[in-house]
Amino acid sequence: MKVLLTRPEGRNQSMVDALNERGIEHCVTPLLCVEATPALPPETSHPLANVDMVVCISANAVSFADDTFKANDANVKGWPKVPYFAVGHATWEALQQIDIDALEAPDDCQQTEGLLTLPTLQHIQGKKITIIRGVGGREALAEQLTSRGAQVRYWEVYQRACPPLDGTIITQQWIDLGIDTVVVTSGEVLDNLINLVPKELFAWLRSCHIIVPSNRVEAQAHAFGITQVTNANAANSKAVLNALKL
């Protein structure tokens, strides 16, 4: 097994450490980069003003939001003292690092669908909930919370892009390294991977074992003709290692 890790820059270290401990060869090629969105205009009502609950979609959401407070780019003084929810364990850890306790999705379903099973999110009629995320995320969470009577708004604190890579060159490098397993931690990463691999080398990708974080990304992979797919049901290192049978 030779594993390709594709998280954004700086987000692969825990998997690198885990694979090194187990003597598993690997390569790191970030297939997603993130950057802050422009600061909100001063006259804009801040998405965290007068909020009852806050849902953080990712560790990036926590990090970029916190950066705006540190830079005094927000017209609220900081994180409000309300209940917080984290979709995955990495997001929960990011909140812990800034001294915010949060509830997270269950271990066996660390995604939107799991978060929505939490008892605290069942009776939310009239609650004002802000979802902190990147630009263009899924709508399923907001739709479900709204259907339960909540008033939902977004604070989009970062945007995603594909790093500037030459698809033919990078794919050939992966082939030459003997990569046969690819860890994909989001739909955006999978899209970038699919778009990077040229048609003439796509048979290699179809021969790889692809680890995905959710049912949605699993279906996305199958739609592209990739059949060797394992759903880790989360994007954290523990779930990925279990999916790799390590």
Give yes or no for a contact between 158 and 60, defined as CB atoms under 8 angstroms apart: yes
Q: Show the tokens assigned to 202.
A: 């796509």
Integer Cα distance of 20 and 219 in angstroms: 30
Domains belonging to the chain, first-starting first, are 2-32+164-243 (3.40.50.10090), 35-161 (3.40.50.10090)
77 membership: H or E segment, kind and range: none
Each residue's pLDDT tens digit in the chain (246 positions)?
Answer: 999 999 999 889 999 999 999 999 999 999 999 889 988 887 788 899 999 999 999 999 999 999 988 887 656 678 999 999 999 888 999 999 999 999 999 988 888 999 999 999 999 999 999 999 999 878 999 999 999 999 999 999 999 889 999 999 999 999 999 999 999 999 999 999 999 999 999 999 999 999 999 999 999 999 999 999 999 998 889 999 999 998
